[in-house]
Structures are given as C-alpha cells and as structure tokens.
Amino acid sequence: MDTKTWLTLGFTFIVGVFSGAYLYVTVFAPQYNDDGFEDPSEIALRIQGQTYGGCQRTGSCPQFELENNRRYTYTKQAQRLDGEDEVMTGKMDRERFAQLADLLMETNFSALAQETQRSCDSYVDGVDYRYNVILEGEQFELDTCGTAFYNSTLERALRPLWGQFATTTSDLPYILERGMTGAAQDALDNLFQYDEKRDARK
C-alpha cells in the first residue's frame, strides 16, 4: 500500500476513536444515567410552544420545544391518520437566544397572566399560542387567548420562532455529517493538494 492509503487508514482510526468518545459522552452515557424522572427545579431554561384553534380541524397544529443548550425540536402533526409527523431540529443562533433569555429574566409573568376582554383568534378558526416556560426551576403558563400576554414584548419576541424553527439546517459535527471515511479522505486530499501547489511554486 502507498503512503496515502496508510495515512487514510491511520486517520480513519483516530477519527473513529474520537467519534466513539464523543457519542458516548453526549448520547449513550446521559441515556444510561437517566432515571426517567426530570425535576423542573433543575431546569435552567426551557420553552414549549403549542398552537391551537383552527388548525385542530385538520389535526396539524405545530408545536416546538427549545432547550437551554439552544437546541430545538419543531413538530408539525400529520394531517392524515396514516401520515407521519414532520419533525425539524436545529440550534438557535447564540445571539438571538441570549437576547430571548435576557428578556425572559426581565419579564413580569404575573402581569402577563392577567385576563383581558379581547376576543381570541381561535374563536373564529384562527390560531392562538400557548407556552410553557421553565425559568430557573419555576414554571409559567402563557396564552395569547384572553390574557395580557397577547402582543406583549415577550409575545412579539416568541412569535418569529415558529417560522424560524419550521426550517432547519444540519448542525452535526463535521465528522458525523460527512462520515469518518469521507472526513479522512477530504483531509488527505486537501493535504496532498497543498503539497502539489507548494511544489509547483518552487
């Protein structure tokens, strides 16, 4: 075997070791240690959003969950009984997440829970939004129907998330997205291309 083949095999082995360690720490170990009970008081930040109203006629009301690590899961229920739910996953932009977290810390949730006389959109086949927010271990229920939460600063900040989460891009580590062999091949190709360009300049 030539030098490039040996380097490919060696690099693949090293990447495999690191990939295995990464998967163990981030996936298998947490699942193994999970006792099935999650104490809300131990959750720093989580936002669960759910739509209801006219969308319930077709059974396709979207919902999402945003975790403290900025990762989100957006689910749109299938309209047919034999269909599959559409699930989008991704990671929220760091700056936008920080702005949202700061806004939550400044929010007076008691004031937003006050009832109002405004007619709800869900009463006329429109859509209303319900949120369950866990912040520093405390839970808060927010609803755009019949409360001061509607059109508040926080509600306007949460509203764009539905459109943002409805699309996703891959956020996997490069070696997992490209594959170990592919990552090794790309690295070696770049290395040899660099050597060829360097030799050509001599």
Quick: pLDDT tens for 180-194.
Answer: 555 555 555 555 544
Structural domain tally of the chain?
A: 1
In a domain, 188, yes or no: no
Q: Residue 24 carries which side chain, given as an amino acid letter?
A: Y
Quick: pLDDT tens for 122-167.
Answer: 999 899 999 999 999 999 999 999 999 999 999 999 999 999 998 8
**pLDDT-derived band of residue 28, with 50, 70 and 90 as boundaries?**
low
> Which residue range forms the structural domain that includes residue 61?
45-165
Q: Is 145 exposed, middle or buried (0-12, 13-18, 19+ CB in 10 A)?
A: buried
Q: Residue 159 is part of a domain; what is its CATH number?
A: 3.30.1560
In a domain, 184, yes or no: no
Q: Residue 147 carries which side chain, given as an amino acid letter?
A: T
Residues 53 and 37: their CA atoms lie apart, in Å, by 32
In a domain, 11, yes or no: no
In a domain, 171, yes or no: no
In a domain, 82, yes or no: yes
